[in-house]
Amino acid sequence: MRRHLLLLALVVPAMILPAAATTFVADTNPPFNYIENGKLAGLAPEITAEMARRAQLPATFEHADWDAGYQRAQKDRDTCLLSLARVESRDKLFHWVGPIGVNRWGVFGKTDFAGKVAKVEDLRPYRIGGVTRDAKLEYLAQYAVTNISSVSDDRKNPARLNRPKDDPDRIDLWITGAFTARKMSRENGGPKLKAVYTAKDVPLYVACSTGTPRTTVKALNEALTDMKRDGTLKRITDRHLQQFAE
C-alpha cells in the first residue's frame, strides 16, 4: 500500500505542473511584426497572443533579427517564429500554425530606375537587396536571379539604394513586403520608391520548433480556426493593414 502511495505522490505533481510557456520570436517586418514603445507589436503578435489566450497556453514574445530568430525556432524547445512563408525547403524543419495572413512580395527601385521588368527573369542583370534566409531570395533563386546582397535586417536595405554606383554595398533593387515598403524607406533613410515588379501573394505562418509539443501546435491551430469563424482574424488584419496603408 505504501509503495502505491509513493508512486502516486511522484506522479500527481508531474500531472499538475503548469505547461511550459511557448516563446514567440519575431523580427521587424511591419505590419506583421514591429517594435512600438519598446514592445513587440503588429498583426502577427496580436493574432498569436489571441490564439494562445483561447488555447489557454502561456506565451512570451521576444524581438530578434531574422537570422537569429530563424535559428532559435529550429533548435529551441517551445519556440515559434513569426511569421514566414511555408516553402518546400522549410516544410520539415518546423511544425506549422496557420496561415495567419498574406504578404505581397514586391521589387522596388528608385523613382529614376529605367529598367523594364515584365517577368521575374528580367531581374537577373540587377543587384537586389533582401534579407538573409528569407523565402523571397529562394523565390528569386528558382528563376536564376542570383545577384543578391542580403542583410540581417530589412530596414538596412532602403538606404543602400542611395549609395554610389561604385559602393560595394549598393543595390539596384530591393525585394520586400509591398504593403509597407514606402513607409519603411521613408523611416530608414531611403529614397522615394518605384514599384518595379509584383512578385506574388504569399500565405504567412507561425513556424514552431520540432521540440514544441504537437498538442501545442494543434491547440493553436484550433484557436485560429475559431478566430476565422467569429471574424476576429479579419478584424485584427483589417485594422493593421489600414494603419500601415500608404
pLDDT score recorded for residue 19: 64
Look up residue 12 and give its amino acid.
Answer: V
pLDDT score recorded for residue 49: 98
Spatial contact of 151 and 65, defined as CB atoms under 8 Å apart: no
CA distances to 1, 89, 102 from 86, rounded to whole Å, are: 54, 8, 11
In the chain, what is the greatest distance between 2 CA atoms, to the nearest angstrom? Answer: 86
Q: Which cell numbers hold the place of 85?
A: 512563408
Residue with cell 500527481: 12
Spatial contact of 180 and 244, defined as CB atoms under 8 Å apart: yes
pLDDT score recorded for residue 241: 86
**pLDDT tens by residue, 146-195:** 999 999 999 999 999 999 999 999 999 999 999 889 989 999 999 999 99
Q: Which range among 26-35, 95-104, 106-115, 147-156 shows the weakest confidence by mean pLDDT?
A: 26-35
pLDDT score recorded for residue 138: 95
Q: Is the pLDDT of residue 50 over 90?
A: yes
Percent of the chain exceeding pLDDT 70 equals 91
Tell me the average pLDDT across 70-96: 95
Angle, CA 9 vertex, CA 4 and CA 14 arms, to 5°: 125
Q: Is the pLDDT of residue 2 over 80?
A: no
**pLDDT tens by residue, 51-72:** 999 999 999 999 999 899 999 9
Tell me the average pLDDT across 11-37: 76
Spatial contact of 136 and 130, defined as CB atoms under 8 Å apart: yes
Residue with cell 520540432: 210
Q: Is the pLDDT of residue 41 over 90?
A: yes
CA distances to 21, 31, 171 from 40, rounded to whole Å, are: 17, 11, 29
Residues 6 or more apart in contact with residue 187 via CB below 8 angstroms = 155
pTM summary value: 0.82
Which residue from 96, 101, 100 is spatially nearest to 214, judged by alpha carbons?
96
**pLDDT tens by residue, 202-236:** 999 999 999 999 999 999 999 999 999 999 999 99
Q: Is the pLDDT of residue 89 over 70?
A: yes
Which residue from 149, 153, 130, 199 is spatially nearest to 34, judged by alpha carbons?
153
Look up residue 218 and give its amino acid.
Answer: K
**pLDDT tens by residue, 107-158:** 999 999 999 999 999 999 999 999 999 999 999 999 999 999 999 999 999 9
